[in-house]
């Protein structure tokens, strides 16, 4: 089946152009010119990826993004930002957007990003083992260690499980409930607060600056997201 993309954007000419190009690439495309309509369509149609403008009538793109994550939609969301919306990009990522592209963008660039996100989506589920090199640290899953600036820090087996699970989601938002379910199991009855505390500890071990995490990001209203 073809992958489905939903465009939520109020510039009709841009929507038309995007649609032609995306259909050409073999995607099924639907669109909404209004934030509220877009949100409804996203929830009912469950597309594989969403292109989301920020300034929209009805409901702005940031709100739409936040709502989608609150509803546990974990598909890739690419924000389309206009010039002067630099701050919105940051908020967008905090709201759970996966990526953003600034207008005017080249269609080739956009298609490349869409492909990369959809590929990543299909790939998640791979088992991670051995050594994983991230931007600022190395994680040694075999020996339960983090290597940060040549210093080795021990990880507990629980921390290894949490890290592995987060990394395997490949940038997708992981809710606290999911973590409870997948890592702790329900037999120990931990609370979501327990999870937040564990994440704090884990950040102290793996983040260069735990107060401004680079790898384990908090997603407002959603949970956590791991960025390599
Ligand atoms: Ca707009």
Residue-wise pLDDT tens digits, 88-123: 767 777 788 888 888 889 999 899 889 888 877 665
Compute, in angstroms, the gap from residue 135 CA to the centroid of ligand 1. Answer: 34
Element (H, E) at 124: none
CA 133 – ligand 1 centroid, Å? 38
Q: Are 213 and 137 in contact (CB under 8 A)?
A: no
Q: DSSP secondary-structure letter at 106?
A: -
Query: What is this structure's pTM?
Result: 0.57
Which residue, chain included where needed, has tokens 């974990």?
74
Strands 173-174 and 216-219: unpaired
Listed in sequence order, the residues at least 6 apart from 102 whose beta carbon sits closer than 8 Å to its beta carbon are 81, 82, 83
SS3 at position 28: strand
**Token pair belonging to 70:** 């609150």
pLDDT band for 127, please (50, 70, 90 cuts).
low
Q: What are the structural domains, with CATH classification, of the chain?
A: 4-123 (3.40.50.2300), 131-226 (1.10.10.10)
Q: 62 C-alpha to center of ligand 1: Å?
A: 12
CA of 139 to the centre of ligand 1 (A): 42
From ligand 1's centre to the CA of 75, what distance in Å?
22
Give the pLDDT confidence of 5-40 residue by residue, as tens digits.
999 999 999 999 999 999 999 999 999 999 999 999
CA of 60 to the centre of ligand 1 (A): 9
Pairing of strands 223-226, 216-219: antiparallel
Query: Of 84, 18, 26, 20, which Cα lies nearest the Cα of 51?
Result: 18
3-state secondary structure at position 197: helix
- Ligand 1 centroid to 45 CA: how many Å? 22
Output the CA 46–ligand 1 centroid distance in Å: 22
Dihedral of the alpha carbons of 172, 175, 179, 180, in degrees to the nearest 10: -170
- Ligand 1 centroid to 195 CA: how many Å? 38
Mean pLDDT of 130-156: 85
């Amino acid at each position: 089946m073809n992958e489905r993309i939903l465009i939520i954007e109020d510039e009709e000419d841009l929507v038309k152009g995007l649609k032609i190009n995306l259909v050409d690439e073999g995607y099924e495309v639907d669109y909404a010119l209004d934030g509220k309509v877009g949100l409804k369509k996203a929830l009912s149609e469950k597309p594989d990826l969403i292109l989301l403008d920020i300034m929209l009538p009805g409901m702005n793109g940031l709100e739409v993004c936040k709502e989608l994550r609150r509803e546990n939609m974990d598909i890739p969301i690419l924000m389309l930002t206009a010039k002067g919306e630099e701050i919105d990009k940051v908020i967008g990522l905090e709201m759970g957007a996966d990526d953003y592209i600034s207008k005017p963008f080249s269609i080739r660039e956009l298609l490349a990003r869409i492909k990369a996100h959809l590929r990543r989506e299909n790939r998640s589920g791979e088992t991670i083992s051995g050594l994983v090199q991230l931007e600022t640290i190395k994680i040694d899953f075999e020996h339960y260690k983090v290597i940060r600036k040549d210093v080795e820090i021990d990880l507990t087996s629980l921390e290894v499980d949490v890290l592995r699970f987060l990394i395997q989601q490949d940038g997708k938002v992981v809710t606290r409930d999911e973590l409870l379910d997948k890592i702790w199991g329900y037999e120990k009855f931990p609370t979501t607060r327990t999870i937040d505390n564990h994440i704090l500890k884990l950040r102290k071990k793996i983040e260069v600056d735990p107060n401004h995490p680079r790898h384990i990001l908090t997603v407002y209203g959603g949970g956590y997201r791991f960025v390599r």
